[in-house]
Amino acid sequence: MVVATQVNPIRMEKIREVDIPVIDLSCSRSKVAKLIVKACEEYGFFKVINHGVSHHITKEMEDESFEFFDKPLPEKELVGSANPFGYGSKNIGLSGDTGELEYLLLPTNQNAIAQTSKFSYAWASLTKTHKGYHLSKALSIKNFNNNSQCRLTLWVTMCVVSSYVKSVRELACEILELIAEGLGVPHSLFSHFVRHFDSDSLLRLNHYPPVTHSFHHGNIGFGEHSDPQIITLLRSNDAPGLQISLRNGLWLPVSPDPHAFCVNIGDILQAMTNGRFVSVRHRAMANLLPNQSRLSMVFFGAPPPEATIACPPQLLKRNKPIYKTFTWSEYKSHTYAHRLGETRLDHFKIT
Ligand SMILES: C=C1C[C@]23C[C@@]1(O)CC[C@H]2[C@@]12CC[C@H](O)[C@@](C)(C(=O)O1)[C@H]2[C@@H]3C(=O)O
Ligand SMILES: O=C(O)CCC(=O)C(=O)O
Ligand SMILES: [Fe+2]
């Protein structure tokens, strides 16, 4: 829970004559709720500061991530190739998109984890170990069975990932509850999806390696898209790269701030607000500064697979619904079968 301390909850960051809202979550709840709703309507994007996620947890997560990406390729490939979970390099998703990055995509709920790769199985067991049980399971993972140093390292990593996911998920839910308050709908209308045991939320670690001389500035690291989920919380190191698309078609660079989280609205929240919120299109440029690695740690807050997505009557007012009712599972299947750059929500428009 964020405690109110300051009077002015917002500062505007001027980039190319456009102000990106930077919202101070330690300010008065009702003011913050209104500012967040305004930012979601205007940009579908804002930054939050004084968010309550411990810098120590974030730093540990960043160190672990760099340590992973610094490993030789065969070791990284041991976690299994992204299908969709696991390690990926240059390919994005399963539809043929490419980018100048490598990444690790992880599920965050125990059920999904248990059904995926060995690595994910390890993630599940070790996360539970963190809470004091299932140690025996953790120690019997095939790949790591014969190497106690390796098991110990993995255990530490899992604890770090687990703490990070827990803190960022809480922040995502807090922001969704502020949004609900600002919109005048039930407090947990959006957050209950992300808090749900079967929530399909993801953690993605994107590593954009340093620029080499054979490489041109201005290369796309992660192509233009909107995130399919409800809400995205992105934290990056101090390297630039993220850009958001404005309504006038211009690309706006977002200045990096390791102490802030970038928040963007996903397609599901655009659908649930009947188009009042914008699921912002964004992209990441491959490293813009020489010799600098960029690392983004991205939490995607998603509903459980069977959740029904529809705009509630309070938000429809007298307007007709723009989108059909669908389940997250239906939306995800559609999304994953299409290319990154497509406006996938359009498929669910009522014609
Ligand atoms: C090409 C694709 C990659 C993606 C799934 C998709 O078919 C279209 C959306 C992509 C995206 C963007 C946000 C997240 O990074 C992501 C994990 C997601 O849920 O949707 C990726 C998907 C991916 O990389 O698998
Ligand atoms: O790395 C970034 O800044 C953007 C990544 C992103 O948009 C994503 O993972 O969906
Ligand atoms: Fe994204």
Give the 3-state DSSP-derived string for the chain, with helices as H, strands as E and coil as C.
Answer: CCCCCCCCCEEEEEECCEEEEEEECCCCHHHHHHHHHHHHHHCCEEEEECCCCCHHHHHHHHHHHHHHHCCCHHHHHCCCECCCCEEEEEEECCCCEEEEEEEEEEECCHHHHHHCCHHHHHHHHHHHHHCCCCHHHHHCCHHHCCCHHHHHHHHHHHHHHHHHHHHHHHHHHHHHHHHHHHHCCCCCCCHHHHHCCCCCCEEEEEEECCECCCCCCCCEEEEEECCCCCEEEEEECCCCCEEEECCCCCEEECCCCCCCEEEEECHHHHHHCCCCCCCCCEEEECCCCECCCEEEEEEEECCCCCCEECCCHHHHCCCCCCECCEEHHHHHHHHHCCCCCCCHHHHHECC
- Residue 138's pLDDT is 40
Place of tokens 């993630």: 123
Q: How confident is the model at residue 7 (pLDDT cuts 50, 70, 90)?
A: low
Q: Tell me how far the alpha carbon of residue 275 lies from the centroid of ligand 2, in angstroms.
A: 22
Per-residue pLDDT reduced to its tens digit, 271-296? 999 999 999 999 999 877 888 899 99
Q: Percent of the chain having pLDDT more than 90?
A: 64
More reliable by pLDDT, 110 or 214: 110
Ligand 2 pocket test: which of 91, 298, 300, 336 has the largest number of ligand atoms within 8 Å of its C-beta?
298
More reliable by pLDDT, 50 or 153: 50
Q: How confident is the model at residue 211 (pLDDT cuts 50, 70, 90)?
A: confident
Edge-first strand order for the sheet with 282-285 is: 220-225, 282-285, 242-245, 251-253
Q: What is the ipTM of this complex?
A: 0.98
Nearest to 111 by CA among 203, 202, 198, 204: 198
Q: How confident is the model at residue 210 (pLDDT cuts 50, 70, 90)?
A: confident
pTM higher than 0.80:
yes
236 DSSP β-pair partners? 296
- Residue 235's pLDDT is 98
Q: Percent of the chain having pLDDT more than 70?
A: 81
Nearest to 105 by CA among 243, 228, 207: 207
- Residue 36's pLDDT is 98
- Residue 121's pLDDT is 45
Q: Taking CA 251 as the corner, what is the angle to CA 342 and CA 44, rounded to the nearest 5 degrees?
A: 70
Largest CA distance in the chain: 65
Neighbouring residues of the ion ligand 3, judged by CB less than 5 Å: 227
pLDDT at residue 16 is higher than 50: yes
Q: Tell me how far the alpha carbon of residue 298 lies from the centroid of ligand 2, in angstroms.
A: 7
- Residue 155's pLDDT is 59
pLDDT at residue 157 is higher than 50: yes
pLDDT at residue 123 is higher than 90: no
The verdict on whether 169 is a catalytic residue reads no
C-alpha to C-alpha distance for 134 and 103, rounded to whole angstroms: 28
Tell me the average pLDDT across 115-138. 43
Of the listed 195, 294, 318, 344, which one is catalytic? 294
Mean pLDDT across the chain, nearest whole number?
85
Q: How confident is the model at residue 83 (pLDDT cuts 50, 70, 90)?
A: confident
Ligand nearest to the CA of 335: 1
Tell me the average pLDDT across 191-214. 90
CA dist 80 → 16, 74, 104, 144, 329 (Å): 42, 10, 10, 14, 24
